[in-house]
Structures are given as C-alpha cells and as structure tokens.
Amino acid sequence: MARISKRVEQLPPYLFVEISRKIAAKKAEGKQVITFGIGDPDIPTPDSVLKRLAETAYDAPNHRYPETEGLPEFRSEVAKWYKSRFDVTVDPATEIMSLIGAKEGIGHISLGLLDPGDIALEPDPAYPVYHVGTLFAGGESVKIPLSESTGWLPDFSKIPSDVAEKAKIIWLNYPNNPTGAVAPLSFFEEAVAFAKKYDIAILNDACYTEVYYDDYRPVSILEVPGAKDVSIEFHSLSKSYNMTGWRIGMAVGNQELIRALFLVKSNLDSGASQAIQHMGIAAMQLSDNEIQARNKQYQDRRDKVVETLQKIGLDVTPPKASLYVWAPVPKGHTSASFATAVLDDLDIVLTPGSSYGEFGEGYIRLSLTISDQDLDEGLRRLNTWTIPKGPG
C-alpha cells in the first residue's frame, strides 16, 4: 500500500474542489445550480490575443522546451507594462520572470525562501495557497488577523517584535481576495519600512490590480522608493485579460528573490509555453479601453449584487476593486450555515468566509465572474427569499 507524506495528509481539501463536488451533486439531482463560487472570468480572451497564439503556434522554436525565466521579449514587455501602468522601472534581465500562472509562482516561492521551522507571516483571511506553500516548505505559519474595522489591512504594530525578528517572509495581497479590500500607497510604505526593520521579504500578490471600479485605480508596492530592496510582486494575466485557462503570469521585483524562485522552478518545471508567452505580449499591448470596458461589465454586476444583498438585509459595502463581493452573514448564522441555507433553498453556491481562515468567519464571498443571465437568475432567487433562522 502506498504511503503518502505527512504534509499531504495535513492539507485541507482545496476549497474549490469541495465547491465543485457540491455543484455536481445538485446537478445530478437535475437542479439548475447558480454558482458565485470561483473567480474564473467568464468573459472570453480578447480576439487579438487568440490570434497571436494562432500565429506563434506554428513557429518551430515554440515547439521546444522554453527557458525557465521566460522569453526576453516577454520580460521586456512586462517591463514596458510596469513603466506605463505604475511608472516603475524594472530590469527585464534580472528582475522579471515568467510564471505558469501566478498561482504556480506563489506556491513555489516558499521553497526558495523558507527552511524547515522558518516563520511566514500570513494574513487571515487569505488566499489558501500562501499557507500551502509554507506547509510544503516545512515553514511555520503565523497568522496576521485582518478585520473590517481596519479596512482588512494588517496592523504591523500588533505583530510581536520577537515574532517579526524570526520571520523570513510576509504575504500581502491588494486588491484583496477574498475581501475586495484595497490598500493606499501609504500602507505599502509602512510595509516596506516594517520589512526593512526586521529583514523580512515581502511577497505581494497583485493579481487583481487591473480589476477596479468607479474612480479608483490600484497601486503597486514597487511604486514605493526602496521597495525592490525587499519585495517581489506576483502578477497574472488571468484576471487582467481573461486568460485563466492559458496559465501565464510573472514575478517582478528584487533580483535575489527572483533568482531564488528561478532556482526552484528550473528544477521543477520547464517554464511557460513560449506561444502562450506571445499571447501575454499581445495582451499587455492592448489599449486601456479594453480594460475599462471589461471593468464596466464587472461594475454593473457588482452594483446588482450589492443592491440585492442589501435588500435581503446584509450590510455590504461595494468593493473598489477585485472580482468579489464580501458580505457579513445575518445574525445567528455562521458563514457555513448561511452558505448551506442558500444552497439548500435556492440552489445557489456562495463561498463561506471561514474557507479563507479563522478571521473570515461571519462573512460570505460572491464572485462576479458569472454570466449576466445566471447572475440575474441568481439574484432573482435571492430577492424572493426569506432568510431562515440560523443555528446560533
């Protein structure tokens, strides 16, 4: 009988695997399930990006192993994009590398930075892969509680100095998944000062900077003077250009951190497909009008969702960015009991906040990556629903 590792035995079931199982069970019963669960853009990849794949798929060099760090052309385009978008200058030769989607880089980086027993500071609630990467590297996770009262931003002054002195890395993520929170540049200035004081590497998940609403536009931590001394930023073209299925992203920032990630990846994978890197180049060359039109579609959905949730009695604030609406559950309910009631009564899938950590309890997350037809049907069901009494 095969014996699996303790680290694998310690893994919780991946959140969206469980959601998918629930959906499958409902569909097997003949139900029409509406899911607000997974943040996977339903809007197609732009035509010009798909055409670039069709063109480059026939280029013979793209049929062979790619280089781990990515095509020079891809890295140069990332540098141009960072300069245009954030007015940040990065060296494509040493401060940028391609990723097989940002999730892959986020999962691998801990292997390059943590030894067994090293401390990783991780926000809670948070994207689960930060913790999984720490677990795989044998590190110790120390949770930083986030709360609505502080705008879902960590309070660095409340991290004990003895913990900070032992920590090797700290994870940040703004615009935030799951809460939709955003961070001003002043927050990133505090983060950089904290990291320099304690010699901690900042790992910033910036995958949602191109999904924003109203008059808001997210910033990059690399805009902070001196941030590259201690920071690496993970970016993805998945959410920015509706390319989740193509798996292409990038890591940008401190060259030593980039090199650590390179050494891990060069031993574990063979890099991102070169033809898909050419798709990424085409995406980053799109005009800002493409982003604005897409965000207008998400904003319309956001407004409909917020209006409905407020109508049924949830005290929800419209997010300024990200693909998610984060809402407190009614009094007497836990996040799981409320999500279960919605699924049982309405055949609608919501994500319980407790899935993202202890401090996500009491909230539910709704993704805006759902067709307009399904969104309208889901909101119609919610509008006619009377919330049942909770177990508490």
Whether 35 is in a domain gets the answer: yes
pLDDT of residue 368: 98
> Which of 222, 254, 286 marks a domain boundary?
286
Reduced DSSP (H G I as helix, E B as strand, rest coil) percent helix, strand, coil of the chain, to 5: 50, 15, 40
| Residues sharing a CB contact under 8 Å with residue 368, sequence separation 6 or more, in sequence order | 298, 301, 302, 305, 323, 324, 325, 375
Whether 276 is in a domain gets the answer: yes
Whether 135 is in a domain gets the answer: yes
CATH number of the domain where residue 176 is located: 3.40.640.10
Q: Are residues 256 and 275 in the same domain?
A: yes
Residue ranges with strand state E in the chain: 34-35, 96-99, 119-124, 140-145, 167-173, 201-205, 231-236, 249-253, 324-328, 348-349, 351-352, 363-367
DSSP string over 157-182: GGS-HHHHHHEEEEEEESS-TTT---
Q: In total, how many domains does the chain have?
A: 2
Q: Are residues 323 and 270 in the same domain?
A: no
Q: Are residues 311 and 258 in the same domain?
A: no
Please give the structure tokens belonging to residue 84: 């245009």
Q: Are residues 87 and 129 in the same domain?
A: yes
pTM of the model: 0.95
Whether 299 is in a domain gets the answer: yes
Sheet containing strand 249-253, strands side by side: 96-99, 249-253, 231-236, 201-205, 167-173, 119-124, 140-145
Phi, psi dihedrals of residue 22, rounded to the nearest 5°: -65, -40
CATH number of the domain where residue 23 is located: 3.90.1150.10
Whether 341 is in a domain gets the answer: yes
Q: Are residues 88 and 208 in the same domain?
A: yes
Q: Are residues 28 and 66 in the same domain?
A: no
Q: Are residues 205 and 241 in the same domain?
A: yes
Q: Are residues 36 and 149 in the same domain?
A: no
Beta carbons of 192 and 224 less than 8 angstroms apart: yes
pLDDT of residue 13: 67
> Which of 286, 304, 327 marks a domain boundary?
286
Whether 389 is in a domain gets the answer: no
Whether 329 is in a domain gets the answer: yes
DSSP state of 120: E
Whether 30 is in a domain gets the answer: yes
Torsion of CA 112, 69, 100, 130, to 10 degrees: 20
Q: Are residues 21 and 74 in the same domain?
A: no
Classify burial at 157, counting beta carbons within 10 Å of its beta carbon; exposed 0-12, middle 13-18, buried 19 or more.
Answer: exposed
Q: Are residues 121 and 220 in the same domain?
A: yes
The per-residue pLDDT string of the chain (392 residues; one tens digit each, 9 = 90 and over) reads 568 898 888 887 665 666 677 778 888 989 999 999 889 999 999 999 999 999 999 999 999 999 999 999 999 999 999 999 999 999 999 999 999 999 999 999 999 999 999 999 999 999 999 999 999 999 999 999 999 999 999 999 999 999 999 999 999 999 999 999 999 999 999 999 999 999 999 999 999 999 999 999 999 999 999 999 999 999 999 999 999 999 999 999 999 999 999 999 999 998 999 999 999 999 999 999 999 999 999 999 999 999 999 999 999 999 999 999 999 999 999 998 999 899 989 999 999 999 999 999 999 999 999 999 999 999 999 999 999 998 87
Please give the structure tokens belonging to residue 124: 């809670």
DSSP state of 94: T
Domain ranges, residue 65: 47-286
Q: Are residues 276 and 199 in the same domain?
A: yes
Q: Are residues 115 and 93 in the same domain?
A: yes
> Which of 234, 257, 286 marks a domain boundary?
286
